Amino acid sequence: MTARIIDGKIISAELRARVAAEVTRIKTDHGITPGLAVVLVGSDPASEVYVRSKHKQTQEAGMASFEHRLPADVPQAELLALIAKLNADPAVHGILVQLPLPKGLDSTAVIDAIDPAKDVDGLNPTNAGRLASGLFALTPCTPLGCIIMAKQVHASLEGMNAIVIGRSNLVGKPLVQLLLNENATVTIAHSRSRDLPALCRQADLVFAAVGKAEMVKGDWIKPGATVIDVGINRTPSPDGGKDKLLGDVAFNEAKEVVGAITPVPGGVGLMTVACLLVNTVRAASAIHGLPKPAV
């Protein structure tokens, strides 16, 4: 069987183009420029790269991009004061605090301080609750990207049997809610689940979000299933060369069985920033009482 490779590069570029079109429309029709503020505390090199990429993509989509950099030893109160300022700033529709925060800062308190209407990372419990209650919510970007990728293969997920492996607040749990909104039947499995291979083999849709390199084997997968691999596991190369990035799924085995699969790298990871832009457009529309955007 020749598996379809679900290409994150192409899909995220299409999504960004759709965001840019919506931004143009909102500017023209309503005179509003959606704005995203990113707060970076300290100078973790990986975070620096990520924040630069966000900045670039935000500007390319025609949105306003605001960057705030604070030293690693910033007092919690000062960080919270910045968030309060951004909450009150009408030019800012989305606020993202780059995680993890340096030691000594309380991430939970910082996330709680973000106005839920501007919480484009979807991590605020208010947004989790609104999502769980079927209300309008800003949802975490990675699960949003997973749904968009699955829907590249299946126009409707209704009635499909989906398994979500992993139950984190960031990915697994919101993904379950999004799948329920799509009318899929959802099983949530995790480290305490018995006979995970057998559970997995029943699923038409497999979402792997455990953070263990190549844990999901080829023979765990129902022939023809669609596999969305959220894992990005940095793994030392056996020959001492450059580290490799591996997914949670054993890709080479799986691609002989699946109908469609996302690669790592080049899969879900590329969707995250694009989904952040989607959330910022959705937040701006909701804040200004505009109709739901077409993205």
Residue 65 contacts by C-beta under 8 Å, 6 or more apart in sequence?
Answer: 35, 36, 38, 54, 55, 58, 59
Q: Per CB under 8 A, which of residues 178..197 are in contact with its own copies?
A: 180, 183, 185-190, 192-194
- Residue 184: both structure tokens together: 């899929």
Choose the stretch contacting its own copies; rule: CB under 8 A; options: 17-25, 173-181, 209-217, 266-274.
173-181
**N-terminal to C-terminal alpha carbon distance within the chain:** 33
Is 54 designated active site? yes
Q: Shortest Cβ distance from residue 60 to its own copies (Å)?
A: 33
Is 286 a residue that touches its own copies (CB under 8 A)? no
CA 47/CA 53 separation, integer angstroms: 10
- CA 185 vs. chain centroid, Å, equals 21
Q: Which is nearer to its own copies, 15 or 138 (CB)?
A: 138
> Regarding beta strands 161-165 and 260-261, do their DSSP bridges make them parallel or antiparallel, or are they unpaired?
unpaired
- Nearest by Cα to 165 from 139, 149, 138, 146: 146
Which one of residues 14, 158, 243, 256 is an interface residue with its own copies (CB under 8 A)?
158
Question: In the annotation, is 121 catalytic?
Answer: yes
Does the protein bind its own copies through residue 199 (CB under 8 A)?
Answer: yes
Whichever of 21 and 180 has its CB closer to its own copies, that residue is: 180
Count of residues engaged in binding its own copies, rule: CB under 8 A? 35
Q: How far is the CB of 184 from its own copies (least distance, A)?
A: 8
Name the active-site residue from 54, 118, 173, 222. Answer: 54
Numbered residues of the known binding site for NADP(+)? 166-168, 232
Asked if 255 and 217 touch (Cβ cutoff 8 Å), the reply is no
Q: Is 218 exposed, middle or buried (0-12, 13-18, 19+ CB in 10 A)?
A: middle
Applying CB under 8 A, the span of 168-176, 211-219, 228-236, 281-289 interacting with its own copies comes to: 168-176
| Burial of 172: CB neighbours in 10 Å, binned 0-12, 13-18, 19+ | buried
Residue 42 or 166: the one with the smaller Cβ distance to its own copies is 166
| Binding range to its own copies, per CB under 8 A, among 85-93, 177-185, 224-232, 259-267 | 177-185
State which of positions 124-143 bind its own copies (CB under 8 A): 124-135
* 5 three-state secondary structure: strand
> Is residue 76 annotated as part of the catalytic site, yes or no?
no
Active-site residue, from 121, 204, 229, 248: 121
* CA–CA distances in Å: residue 106 to residues 8, 97, 110, 145, 242: 33, 12, 6, 27, 34
Q: Which is nearer to its own copies, 35 or 116 (CB)?
A: 116
Active site positions, annotated: 54, 98, 121
Point out which residues bind its own copies (CB under 8 A): 124-135, 158-161, 167, 169, 173-174, 176-177, 180, 183, 185-190, 192-194, 199, 202
